[in-house]
Amino acid sequence: MAARILYGLLAILIFGLIIGLHEFGHFIAARLSGVKVNEFSIGMGPAIFTKQGKETLYALRVVPLGGYCAMEGETEDSGDERGFMRQSLLKKIAILVAGPLMNLVTGFAIVLILFAGYGAVFFQDSIVGFAEGFPLEGENGLMVGDVFYSIDGYRTYTSGDASTFLSYHRGDTIDMVVLRDGKKIVLEDFPLTRGTYKSMDGEEYTGFGIFITRTPLPTTPLSILQSSVNTVLGFIQLVRFSLAQLFTGGAGVDDFTGAVGMTATMAEIGATAESTGSALANIFYFAALISVNLFVMNLLPIPALDGGRIFVLLIDALVFLIIRRHIPDEWQERLVTICFILLLVLMALIMFQDVVKIATGTLIPDA
């Protein structure tokens, strides 16, 4: 119990740091662009520490889950030449992109440090054999030693991806790319379907009849860098995969987790690790996943998020090119406000869902 509390506090601090770094990205970009920043805050709620700079109020607030960078004229023209709304389109986009970009850099840095510092061993998914009666073995199909490259358009960046993407596959055919003797073998509309086979232990199961193993890769400085890049790309792809499952019915909203659930998951990961070193490594790896996810999610074209604000700016620029008039600031502000309220409602529902999962012990089913 004590370990869960300790790792829970660490998870809260890390989660707050991730969000703080996001806001710091906005802050640095705004300062470099000459935009006046009225307040830069780490945390939410009442301030426990403040310091007034030359023009910016720096604050540390009591709830370490959030933060903000309040720029002059951020939502409407304040009349100040250094206000956000008075800047060029490229400067506005650069400032908005800087926050998510900081999350991407943070996630990559964490992964690279973990892989370089903990002597990580890297693997790739390959075929070690087939079940008796598997009908698609051969040069025009799959062969022992084939390394999975992509499945249904999803790259197998890290070990375990092949089994994951296969498990979610539905249909009578599949698009697959494997590496064989250094060459890409493209299998389009490949008639791979589930059937009843015997596992390597002789037990019957329903599946594809393919035995997948983890083939180790040599550990070199170059492979560490490449694996770090692949891991981050895998994190990004995971968001795309999750959203695709949501819209195709493969997953529901109840499968998503918010800040409370992620913090609790990090605490559970730490508490169930074999050692303190493993706990910290696992927690920071999960933190890297969260940070990269925030990079992607914040760039989605949802008006309450950075990506949505960029989308509105681009639409406004397009409208101006066509009719020589900008979309009124109040219209943009109303749209952002409505979407922000809807986002808060969704976050509240997911938070409630997280609390229920924690109370019923279903947040991490396999734990």
Q: Are 202 and 284 in contact (CB under 8 A)?
A: no
Number of H helices, E strands in the chain: 8, 10
**In 3D, which of 68, 38, 70, 34 has the Cα closest to residue 52?**
38
Lowest mean pLDDT among 41-50, 138-147, 350-359: 350-359
pLDDT higher than threshold 70 for residue 1? no
Same structural domain, 320 and 351: yes
* Amino acid identity at 307: G
- Please give the share of the chain, as a percent, with pLDDT higher than 90: 49
- Find tokens 């690279």 and name the residue: 112
In the chain, the number of structural domains is 2
H/E element, 86: none
Answer with the one of 199, 218, 237 that is the final residue of a domain.
Answer: 218
Tokens representing residue 302 in the block: 């949802």
Asked if residue 230 belongs to a domain, the reply is: no
Same structural domain, 113 and 89: yes
Asked if residue 237 belongs to a domain, the reply is: no
Coil, strand or helix: which one is 367?
coil
**In 3D, which of 23, 36, 127, 105 has the Cα closest to residue 69?**
23
Across 306-325, average pLDDT: 87
Asked if residue 176 belongs to a domain, the reply is: yes
Please tell me the distance from the alpha carbon of residue 221 to that of residue 227, in angstroms, as a whole number: 10
pTM, two decimals, is 0.84
**In 3D, which of 165, 169, 142 has the Cα closest to residue 154?**
165
Q: Are 124 and 145 in contact (CB under 8 A)?
A: no
Same structural domain, 168 and 214: yes
Asked if residue 251 belongs to a domain, the reply is: no
Answer with the one of 190, 218, 246 that is the final residue of a domain.
Answer: 218
* Amino acid identity at 106: T
Pairing mode, strands 147-151 and 154-155: antiparallel
Asked if residue 40 belongs to a domain, the reply is: yes
Same structural domain, 261 and 205: no
Asked if residue 338 belongs to a domain, the reply is: yes
Across 69-79, average pLDDT: 86
Adjacent-strand bridge partners of 61? 47
Across 260-284, average pLDDT: 75
Same structural domain, 196 and 92: no
Same structural domain, 103 and 137: no
Across 291-295, average pLDDT: 92
- Domain with 106, as residue range(s), is 2-119+257-360
Across 326-342, average pLDDT: 73
Tell me the per-residue pLDDT of 137-163, one tens digit each, with 9 for 90 and over: 999 999 999 999 999 999 999 999 999
Asked if residue 274 belongs to a domain, the reply is: yes
Q: pLDDT higher for 6 or 54?
A: 54
Tell me the per-residue pLDDT of 208-240, one tens digit each, with 9 for 90 and over: 999 999 999 888 899 899 999 999 999 999 888
The domain that holds 206 is classified in CATH as 2.30.42.10
- Find tokens 């918010």 and name the residue: 258
Asked if residue 196 belongs to a domain, the reply is: yes
Lowest mean pLDDT among 72-76, 184-188, 251-255, 309-313: 251-255
Adjacent-strand bridge partners of 178? 148, 185
Same structural domain, 352 and 278: yes
Average pLDDT in the chain:
86
Same structural domain, 107 and 151: no
pLDDT band at 355 (very low <50, low <70, confident <90, very high): low
Answer with the one of 164, 197, 218 that is the final residue of a domain.
Answer: 218
Q: Please, where are the H alpha helices in the chain?
A: 2-32, 89-117, 161-168, 221-248, 259-271, 276-298, 306-323, 329-360
DSSP tag of 252? -
Same structural domain, 136 and 110: no
The CA radius of gyration of the chain, in Å to the nearest whole number, is: 24
Same structural domain, 15 and 110: yes
Q: pLDDT higher for 259 or 105?
A: 105
